[in-house]
Chain A
Amino acid sequence: GDSVTQMEGPVTLSEEAFLTINCTYTATGYPSLFWYVQYPGEGLQLLLKATKADDKGSNKGFEATYRKETTSFHLEKGSVQVSDSAVYFCALSDQRAGNNRKLIWGLGTSLAVNP
C-alpha cells in the first residue's frame, strides 16, 4: 500500500541555519503531497501542499517540490527561526480514491531551533 518515509529526528539547528527534512513516498496512484506542522501542545496545521509533479508548495518561507522521478517531497527553509521548533509531518493522499481520500502520514520529524 501507499506509504510515506521521513528522515528521523530530532533535528537540531541554530537560528538562521538552512533546513532540509527529507520525505519520500510510495504510491501506486497519483498522490497529492502535504507537509503539516504540529507546534507543542497544538493540533496539526497544513503548512503547504502540491498536487502534481514539479509543483512547488510554499508558505511562511518553507518550500517543497513534488519530484515524481525521485518520489520525494523534501521540505526546505533557507533561514530557520526559534519559532519554527515543532514536529513536521509529511503526508500523501491518493487522488484516485476520489471521495474516499484519506491522508497517509509519515512518522514526523522533530525540529529544535536554538537561538
Chain B
Amino acid sequence: ETGVTQSPTHLIKTRGQQVTLRCSSQSGHNTVSWYQQALGQGPQFIFQYYREEENGRGNFPPRFSGLQFPNYSSELNVNALELDDSALYLCASSLVRGGETQYFGPGTRLLVL
C-alpha cells in the first residue's frame, strides 16, 4: 500500500510569484486535506477536497486554491506569494469524507524570499 506522497520536497520562490504543490493520496482514499504549518506552530487547516469538490475551507484568502483530480490526487495553488506563506505544507488523505483518521505526507517546505 502506497502512502501519501507530496512533491516537491522543497521549493524557493520570490514574493509575488505563484506556486503549485502536489499530493497523491493513499490508495483508496477519496478525501484530501491541506494544512499549513509555520515554523514552531501546529498545522492550520486550509481546505479539504472530496471527489473533486471543495468540502470545507479554513481561514485562508482566495489566493489559496486547490484541485482534486479523478484519481483523487490533489494540487494546492498559491498566487501572489507573500513572505508569511513560508511554511511546511502538509497533505493528508482519509478513507471517507469526514473520516477522522488522516494519513499525512512528508510535506513540502516552501520558502518565500
Contacts of B104 in A (CB 8 A): 36, 43-45
Write the chain B residue with the least CB distance to A32.
B100
Given contacts A42-B106, A43-B106, A105-B43, contact A100 B98 (CB under 8 A): yes
Asked whether, in the complex, the Cβ of B106 is within 8 Å of the Cβ of A106, the reply is no
Q: Contact between A43 and B105 (Cβ–Cβ < 8 Å)?
A: yes
Instruction: Give chain B's interface residue range (CB within 8 Å of chain A).
Output: 20 to 34
Number of A-B contacts (CB under 8 A): 63
Chain B proximity mask over A34-56: 1 for CB below 8 Å, otherwise 0: 10100001111110010100000
Enumerate chain B residues within 8 angstroms of A13, measured Cβ to Cβ. Answer: none
How far is it, in angstroms, between the C-alpha of A32 and the C-alpha of B44 when the chains are bound?
18
Is A106 touching B100 in the complex (CB atoms < 8 A)? no
Partner pick for A43 among B50, B56, B90, B98, CB 8 A cutoff: B90
Nearest-neighbor residue (CB-CB) of A101 within chain B:
B98
Residue from A32, A36, A99 in contact with B97 in the complex, judged by beta carbons closer than 8 Å: A99
What sequence of 0s and 1s flags, for each residue 70-102 of chain A, a beta carbon within 8 Å of any chain B beta carbon? Answer: 000000000000000000010101010111111
Partner pick for A99 among B42, B90, B98, B107, CB 8 A cutoff: B98
Docked CA distance A15–B43 (Å): 29
Interface residue ranges, B against A (CB under 8 Å): 4, 6, 33, 35, 40-45, 48, 50, 55-56, 58, 90, 92, 97-107
* Other contacts beyond A32-B100, A98-B98: 10, CB < 8 A: A43-B4, A43-B6, A44-B92, A91-B42, A95-B100, A99-B55, A100-B55, A103-B33, A105-B43, A105-B44
